Amino acid sequence: LEQPIASPPLRDIVSAHDTVAIVFSDLTRPMPTARVLPPLLAQLSHVPDERILLINALGTHRRNTPDELIEILGPEVAGRYPILQHDAWDDENLVRVGISSFGHPILINRAYCEADIRIVTGLIEPHLFAGFSGGPKAVLPGIAGFGTIMQNHGYKMLAHPRATYGYNEGNPMWEEVREAA
């Protein structure tokens, strides 16, 4: 975080006046968010807490309970920063950011899109049909609209021969996920 490759340090990119959205995985992912967020948030210590929004990337999963949020984030982070649990069915809180090269409308969480600085966290591991999890999957399906998720996870995408473990290049699901992000 202090000496990133090909980028200034995060602390230098973000001003105290910026709004920051940080996407984190829900309880269904084995991401050590409670260990990852504190050093990340330390780099943003010059930003007022209320200008940092933590967005729970639920995709189509259920909301996490308050106790689960404490488990995911750790008690200090969960009690200090505003938390938004994404709702893929809440059209008023989605923004259409474009149409993918596959012809699918891309709707993403409004608070994320409106933030000055957007950060995603997640675990990178092989994924059954997206090639790999993590990275842009925090956006699609994590904070995308229900229709966007269903089109990305639809039969035409799933049936593609490269929609499987370890393939990103030529994998239509992964390519659309990257476009959305």
DSSP 73-90: H-HHHHHHS-EEE--TT-
> Binning pLDDT at 50, 70 and 90, where does residue 59 land?
very high
Contacts 24+ apart (CB under 8 A), 67-71: 68/27, 71/27, 71/34
Of 104, 127, 153, 160, the catalytic one is: 127
Q: Is the dihedral of CA 68, 73, 79, 81 positive or negative?
A: negative
pLDDT band, residue 29 (cuts 50/70/90) = confident
pLDDT at 6: 95
pTM: predicted TM-score of the whole model, two decimal places? 0.95
Average pLDDT over residues 91-99: 97
> Between residues 23 and 130, which one has the greater pLDDT?
23
Q: Are 141 and 106 in contact (CB under 8 A)?
A: no
* Average pLDDT, integer, range 111-123: 97
Rg (CA), the chain: 16
Q: Which two tokens stand for residue 35?
A: 């260990």
pLDDT exceeds cutoff 90 at 172:
yes
Q: Which of 71-85, 121-135, 139-153 has the lowest mean pLDDT?
A: 121-135
Instruction: Based on the residue annotation, tell me whether 86 is a catalytic residue of this protein.
Output: no
Average pLDDT (144-173) is 95
- pLDDT over 90 (residue 178): yes
Band of pLDDT at residue 26, cut at 50, 70 and 90: very high
Q: Is 104 a catalytic residue?
A: no
Kindly name the residue from 17, 46, 61, 104 that is annotated as catalytic.
Answer: 61
